[in-house]
Amino acid sequence: MAPRPSSTFTRRSLLTAGLATAGAVALAGCSSTPLGAGLFGSPLNPEQLIFWNLFGGGDGSRMQTMEAGYRKANGGTKSLQATVFAWGNPYYSKLTLATVGNKPPDVAVAHLTRAKPLYDGDILEPITDADLASVGLSADSFNAKSWDAQKTDGKNIAIPLDTHPLVMFYNSDVMKKAGLLDSDGKLKDLTGLDTFEAALAAISKVTGGTAITVANVSETATPWRVFQTLYWQITGATPFLSDNGSKITVNDDAYAKVMERIASWVKKGWLNKGLDYAGAQTAMFTGKSGFFLQGEWEITTAQSIKGLKFGMVPVPTLFDKPAAQADSHTFVLPRKDRTPAQRKQAMVFIKSMLDQSQTWAMGGHVPAYLPTLDSSAYKTLEPQADYSKAAEDAVYDDPAWYGGSGSTFEVTVGAQLALVQQLSSSPQAALSAIKGQLKVYTNTPSPL
């Protein structure tokens, strides 16, 4: 990002001024907490590592187990203060505020797609090769796709913990009745649009209706992920956004090819017209649908359904090449003054988390750390190992200050794509609306 003239009024200068005023009055009693210290620059225990993340549910439980592993090896309960904040924009706003307030956490979690705007806004500092080497890491320690994706201006800005791609769940009982299982009880290869649509037709005969479900009511992320997956399977697809989100450069023909096909599945009764998140997965769990497209994190939900026999595979290649919309949870270093010892402490914590990647993988995420990904323990973990290749074909959302997981871009675009699936809008009308609604963001410089 090019430096701004000193006279430019930025969100950063506004926050700094506002925090200076607020520090004298509001939330004064919070200064002993990690968030309060972050906002008002209050001192914390210098020997205690402060870690912020956004993990709830099963991911939160697994992260707590991993944090306990770090504490056990590094001085006990007082060695780590971990704080969890609400997922999405609220989390990234707090992280920005704390950094501007000159007391951010030592280590934070960030989606890879959200890390780049933070780095461009001077919220994160780069991670050097020396930092990596200090704990025995290098670029060769990680899945190449996720490692290359975090590179920004030739620098490392994040250390990936995982890749979480869109995948395809299947109901094994429905697949068996539809004749779609191989001799090992696994889903047959469904590469190619004709093959896949023949499978949808066969499943529809078994279920008496829906063959595949995609959440599209009160849900905007999933329609975007499904579109992005199929769009990047087409040769000639171009980034939806370019120049850090200042230009819309989607290939209109490739867009139409995907969305017209999706609409045709709805019209044939193969794809649901309207289901919320819970309804879409329940349809597959109960055999009312054969396939369910969603992030691999729903593995724990599927495993909790008594009597359900299911599998998971990468989304089949329907067009020219494999692709899967994905993001990665990463560890980042918010910008702050650090002693060499504190910097090493942060890296030791990150390495401890990576060493416990098998625990993290139990929740469905594909490990980015190769010693875990290539281990026999992971390769025999089912169904995780059956879809892990999707991480090699990961497609990350285009860099934009308003983009990434849980972002304004995802909500805006996903809402219009959902309307196409609901047959409430045509693909062309949806694209026109998307371009119109994004204009205010493409024409606005990053506020960071």
- pLDDT tens-place string over residues 58-96: 999 999 999 999 999 999 999 999 999 998 889 999 999
Question: Considering the domain boundaries, does residue 102 fall inside one?
Answer: yes
* CATH number assigned to the domain comprising residue 322: 3.40.190.10
**CA 146 distance to own-chain centroid:** 11
pLDDT in tens, 416-441: 999 999 999 999 999 999 999 999 99
Q: 341 and 425 share a domain?
A: no
Task: Give the range of the structural domain holding residue 312, as residue numbers without chain letter.
Answer: 165-326+407-442
How many CB atoms sit inside 10 A of residue 120's CB?
A: 19
Q: 198 and 333 share a domain?
A: no
Confidence of residue 40 (pLDDT cuts 50, 70, 90): very low
Q: Cα(344)–Cα(332) distance, rounded to whole angstroms?
A: 14
Question: Considering the domain boundaries, does residue 401 fall inside one?
Answer: no
Q: Residue 384 corresponds to which tokens in the numbers above?
A: 């995780």
Contacts of residue 202, defined as CB under 8 A and 6 or more positions apart, other chains included, come to 178, 179, 180
Q: 222 and 343 share a domain?
A: no
Confidence of residue 448 (pLDDT cuts 50, 70, 90): confident
Q: 274 and 289 share a domain?
A: yes
Contacts of residue 149, defined as CB under 8 A and 6 or more positions apart, other chains included, come to 112, 160, 328, 394, 396
Q: 255 and 354 share a domain?
A: no
Q: What is the pLDDT of residue 88?
A: 84
Domain count, the chain: 2
pLDDT in tens, 112-170: 999 999 999 999 999 999 999 999 999 999 999 999 999 999 999 999 999 999 999 99
